[in-house]
Every structure is written in C-alpha cells, then in structure tokens.
C-alpha cells in the first residue's frame, strides 16, 4: 500500500528532500515573522489589564503584563522568573538567562511592583518555583507556556476593544519608547532591555511618532551668543 502523503519523502530538483505536498521552508520562515516596533499607548495596555479581571488567572496575567511593560523584559525572561529572582529592597528583577546574553539585573518602578503584588500573594499557596506558573491541575507550579499567554492576550485585547495586534513583545516596545521620552540615556535603555548593541535598541525607538520629533525640534531654544564672543565682535 502506498504510504501516506505526509510521510512520503521524495526528491526535488535541487537534490533536497521534502515532505510530499509541502513547500521547502526557507531559513527566514523558521525564524518567525518580524514586525515593526508598534508600541501600544498606555490606555490600551491598561484596558487589557482591566479586562483580565481579578481571578487567579486574571491576576497572573495582569502581573505578567506589568512586568513586561514596566521592566521591558522579554516574555521568555519573565516566564523564567522564580520567586527568588525578585529583590523588593532594590526594586529589581534578576534575568538569569537572557537572549544570547549573560545574566542581568533590571529595574522595575514602584507602580509595576504594586501591580505585581496581588500575584505574589496568591503565589504563596502554590509550590515554590516559577513566578508566573500554572495555577491548577497536575502541573500546577510549573511555568506557563508562551503559547497560552499569547492566546490570553489576544482574547482580552479583542474583548477590551483594542483594534490592533497585541503581542507580548509590544509592552516591551512601549517600555523603551517611554524611557526615551523621559530623557533616559540610550545606553541605559540598551542595558535595561538586554540588547547586545545600540543598533537593536534604536529599532525599538522607531515607534516614536513623527509629530513628537517635530515638536521636540520646535521646542529647542534659540542660539545663545556668549558675552565673551559678543565683546570680540
């Protein structure tokens, strides 16, 4: 009997092998789809957090969004956090294994810590381990999966009336843009985000609106002539 098409391997013209009926996968396709920096405004992030509610699962998602937004961590870094990685005294979080980089310590502001606190209160009822963990079932206490988080974010964003793509990386983009607006030096933003070079950080800041750039230029002071220079004229 002929094998199923899904299992049948056949030669293609360039000598490579692929499954029947499936196009060869390019290296870029394996890396996922790239999206431009599109940081959501504060109103949309807060709307998604509010929509999550105050159930155990809702508080977990609210706390996760707060960490992503107010510390700029990647979702993989946030989901890998353990209770021991929190430092209330320093107001920081320890990233033990970043994206291709060494461990680093990132700051989180008091408001972000406040939004995370209800989750910590519920967390003590579960086995020691991941901060954002599965709450019930045989795997309770284990880290949440990134796929489940993405599904929850999409659903709550849709229910909150957010008319744009709302993915875990976007609060991180918002964090970078907000720090730049506040005048924080670019090298500090780079260290906070865990980027290997400033070029990657600058891509995140493309989310700054052109109107903001024009307003910033308009707000510049007029050239000032020093007294010493004027006396030499």
Q: What positions carry a catalytic annotation?
A: 74, 99, 169, 172, 195, 204
Question: Please, which residues bridge with residue 12 across strands?
Answer: none
Q: Is 94 helix (H, G, I), strand (E, B) or coil?
A: strand
Report residue 71: phi and psi, to 5°.
-120, -15
Q: Give the pairing of strands 92-95 and 17-19.
A: unpaired
Distances in whole angstroms, Cα of residue 86 to Cα of each of 79, 109, 132, 199: 13, 13, 12, 29
The contacts of residue 179 (CB under 8 Å, 6+ apart) are: 72, 188, 189, 192
H-type alpha helices, the chain: 27-30, 42-52, 56-71, 75-79, 110-123, 146-159, 169-181, 186-193, 198-204, 210-218, 227-231
């Amino acid at each position: 009997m002929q094998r199923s098409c899904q299992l049948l391997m056949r030669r293609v013209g360039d000598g490579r092998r692929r499954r029947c009926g499936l196009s060869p996968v390019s290296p870029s396709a394996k890396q996922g789809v790239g999206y431009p920096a599109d940081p959501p405004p504060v109103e949309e992030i807060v709307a998604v957090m509010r929509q999550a509610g105050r159930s155990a699962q809702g508080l977990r998602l609210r706390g996760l969004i707060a960490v992503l937004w107010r510390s700029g961590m990647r979702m993989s870094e946030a989901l890998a956090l353990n209770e021991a990685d929190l430092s209330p005294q320093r107001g920081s979080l320890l990233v033990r294994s970043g994206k291709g980089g060494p461990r680093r310590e990132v700051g989180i502001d008091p408001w972000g810590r406040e939004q995370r606190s209800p989750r910590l209160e519920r967390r003590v009822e579960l086995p020691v381990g991941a901060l954002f963990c599965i709450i019930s079932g045989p795997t309770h206490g284990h880290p949440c999966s990134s796929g489940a988080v993405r599904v929850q974010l999409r659903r709550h964003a849709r229910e909150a009336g957010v008319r744009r793509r709302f993915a875990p990386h976007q609060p991180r983009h918002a964090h970078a843009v907000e720090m730049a607006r506040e005048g924080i030096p670019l090298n500090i933003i780079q260290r906070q985000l865990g980027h290997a070079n400033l070029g990657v950080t600058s891509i995140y800041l493309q989310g700054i609106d052109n109107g903001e750039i024009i307003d910033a230029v308009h707000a510049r002071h007029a050239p000032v002539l020093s007294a010493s220079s004027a006396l030499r004229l």
